[in-house]
C-alpha cells in the first residue's frame, strides 16, 4: 500500500522569514521534517546556522536580511528561489501605556510587524517568485482580533492591520491560486514575552489564569497549523484567521 500524507511538503520550497527564534524557528524545523526544502531568513547568520543544524534534509539554505531595510528586501527577493510557500513570522513586541505610545514608537513596531511583511509580499508576488497554487502564512495575533489588553495598543493595531491585509491579499491573489491566511496565536512562550520588562512574573501568572486551559501556548502548538496551511490539505482554505489561543477568546 502506498502511504499518503496530505500534510507532506515534499517537492515544496518554503521561505520562512523570522526563522532564527520563536514560532518561526519551530515552523522551519517542523516543515523540514515534512519533506519541504526550507529557506530560512533573519538578520543573524549565526542564529540561522543553528536553525539549519536542527533541520531535516540536505537542501535547506539561509539568507540573511533585515526586512525593514528596503535594500535588503530587494536583494532577498532577487536572491531567493521561486517558492511554493511563504511564512512571515518576524516581529517585535512591547508593552506600553497608550499615553506613551508616540508616533516614533508606533513606527518602530509597524515597520517590522506590518509594513515589512506587506512590502515583501508585494515584491514576491510582483516578481512572480511564488508558484501558482502557493500559500502565504502570516503570524498575526489575537491581540489584533478581540483580545484587548492594557498596554498592547501598538502591537495589537499592527497585528489587526496585518490580519486585514491578509483578507485583501487572499482576494487579489486568488487569480493565481495563491492562498493567504494568518495564524493568530494567544500568548506563546517565546522571547517576545516580557521583552519590554514592563510586566512582572506575577502579572503573567494572573493573565495565564484567564486562559481556560490554564497555560500559555508553546511554539509546538503553533507549527502544525502552519504545516496544514502550507500543504495541499488546505487547498480550499484562503482568507482565514486561524486562532490558536487555549480558548481565551471564547470568554
Q: Within 13 A of 91's CA, how many CA atoms are on the CB side?
A: 26
Decide if pLDDT at 199 tops 70: no
Report pLDDT digits (tens) over 65-79: 999 999 999 999 999
Average of per-residue pLDDT across 146-170: 92
Parent domain of 105: 13-250
Is 166 among the domain residues? yes
Is 198 among the domain residues? yes
* Spatial distance between the Cα atoms of 115 and 42, rounded to a whole number of angstroms: 16
How many residues appear in the chain? 251
pTM of full prediction above 0.85: yes
Is 7 among the domain residues? no
Q: Within 13 A of 56's CA, how many CA atoms are on the CB side?
A: 12
pLDDT band at 20 (very low <50, low <70, confident <90, very high): very high
The DSSP code for 225 is H
Is 104 among the domain residues? yes
Neighbours of 210 (CB within 10 A): 14
Contact present, 238 and 170 (Cβ < 8 Å): yes
| Least confident among 88-92, 145-149, 181-185, 243-247 | 145-149
E-assigned strand segments in 69-222 = 83-88, 130-139, 179-185
Is 3 among the domain residues? no
Contact present, 141 and 155 (Cβ < 8 Å): yes
Q: Which of 138, 155, 165, 228 is catalytic?
A: 155
- End-to-end Cα separation, the chain, in angstroms: 46
What average pLDDT does the structure give for the chain? 93
CATH number of the domain enclosing 111? 3.40.50.720
Residue with cell 520588562: 197
Is 59 among the domain residues? yes
* Spatial distance between the Cα atoms of 38 and 210, rounded to a whole number of angstroms: 37
Count of structural domains within the chain = 1
Maximum Cα interatomic distance, the chain, rounded to a whole number of Å: 64
Is 216 among the domain residues? yes
Cell triple for 152: 498592547
44: phi then psi, degrees, rounded to nearest 5: -95, 115
Cell triple for 142: 489575537
The answer to whether residue 216 is catalytic is: no
Is 8 among the domain residues? no
3-state secondary structure of 167: helix
Amino acid at each position: 500500500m502506498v502511504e499518503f500524507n496530505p500534510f507532506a511538503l515534499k517537492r515544496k520550497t518554503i521561505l520562512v522569514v523570522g526563522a532564527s527564534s520563536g514560532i518561526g524557528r519551530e515552523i522551519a524545523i517542523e516543515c523540514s521534517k515534512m519533506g519541504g526544502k526550507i529557506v530560512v531568513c533573519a538578520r543573524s547568520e549565526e542564529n540561522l546556522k543553528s536553525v539549519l543544524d536542527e533541520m531535516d534534509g540536505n537542501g535547506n539554505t539561509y539568507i540573511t536580511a533585515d526586512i525593514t531595510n528596503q535594500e535588503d528586501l530587494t536583494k532577498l527577493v532577487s536572491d531567493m528561489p521561486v517558492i511554493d510557500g511563504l511564512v512571515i513570522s518576524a516581529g517585535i513586541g512591547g508593552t506600553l501605556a497608550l499615553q506613551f505610545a508616540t508616533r516614533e514608537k508606533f513606527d518602530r513596531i509597524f515597520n517590522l510587524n506590518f509594513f515589512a511583511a506587506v512590502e515583501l509580499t508585494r515584491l514576491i508576488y510582483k516578481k512572480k517568485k511564488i508558484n501558482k497554487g502557493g500559500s502565504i502564512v502570516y503570524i498575526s495575533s489575537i491581540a489584533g482580533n478581540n483580545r484587548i489588553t492594557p498596554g498592547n495598543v501598538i502591537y495589537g493595531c499592527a497585528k489587526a492591520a496585518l490580519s486585514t491585509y491578509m483578507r485583501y491579499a487572499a482576494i487579489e491573489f486568488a487569480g493565481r491560486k495563491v492562498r493567504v491566511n494568518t495564524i493568530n496565536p494567544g500568548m506563546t512562550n517565546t522571547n517576545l514575552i516580557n521583552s519590554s520588562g514592563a510586566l512582572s512574573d506575577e502579572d503573567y501568572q494572573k493573565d495565564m489564569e484567564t486562559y481556560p486551559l490554564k497555560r500559555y501556548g508553546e511554539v509546538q502548538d503553533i507549527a502544525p497549523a502552519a504545516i496544514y496551511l502550507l500543504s495541499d490539505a488546505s487547498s480550499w482554505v484562503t482568507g482565514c484567521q486561524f486562532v490558536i489561543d487555549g480558548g481565551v477568546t471564547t470568554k
